[in-house]
Amino acid sequence: MGVNAKAAEQVNWRDFAEDSLSPLLRSAVQTFVTHGYHGTSTRTLAAAANISVPGLYHHFASKQAIIVAIMDHAMGELWRRSGEADAEAGADLEQQLQLHIECLALFHAHRKELAILAATELRSLEPDARDRHIAARDRQEHLLVEILRTGTAQGVFRATDPRQVARALITMCTGVSQWFDAAGPLSASAIAEDYALYAQRIVRQ
């Protein structure tokens, strides 16, 4: 599917036990989620990370650089996990759809804060960073579009408009970040499996 296989091998797409964000960026994520990008000062970010403002600037040139690093990380991690899910599915189109949807749902459950920032703070990015983020989002969407397009061409799925169906399925999965609670009655894996079934039913109508 065009995903770099070597990069995909670096992460188990179902395993979210470790967070590869640095402690500074992890605290910044929580601060931005709580106060919003424009409601957060560099002094607030430094205090949350338990460092001085000059110490913060030693790592990042600006508040904008921090949100860009967070959003680049989010899209990069999702891309790598999607690559591994795709590699596991092989040439089986039904498996490709199932695992891709599972991957999206799991990511938005386990990385809900990252997902929320990526969705809500696009408006806060400067033009070059915004364009890069949109390109990464489009690249991610294209993976699912191609699964649906190929499956429809081969008679495996029925999707008269693969892009529209892909966007509906992606919206379903990204919405998990808005309500998922790890202490709730449903586990992330159970939700991901259910969503994969919903996706299969939609493309078999």
- Nearest of 52, 53, 60, 77 to residue 25 by alpha carbon: 60
Tell me phi and psi for residue 87, to 5 degrees: -65, -35
Q: Is the pLDDT of residue 69 over 70?
A: yes
Residue-wise pLDDT tens digits, 93-151: 999 999 999 999 999 999 999 999 998 999 999 999 999 999 999 999 999 999 999 99
Taken in order of first residue, the domains within the chain and their CATH numbers are 64-202 (1.10.357.10)
**Rg of the chain taking only CA atoms, in angstroms:** 18
Q: Quickly tell me which residue has 């969503």 as its tokens.
A: 195
CB 159 within 8 A of CB 152: yes
Q: Quickly tell me which residue has 């949109």 as its tokens.
A: 134
- Nearest of 109, 117, 111, 113 to residue 133 by alpha carbon: 117
Q: Is the pTM of this model over 0.75?
A: yes
Proportion of the chain above pLDDT 70, given as a percent: 94
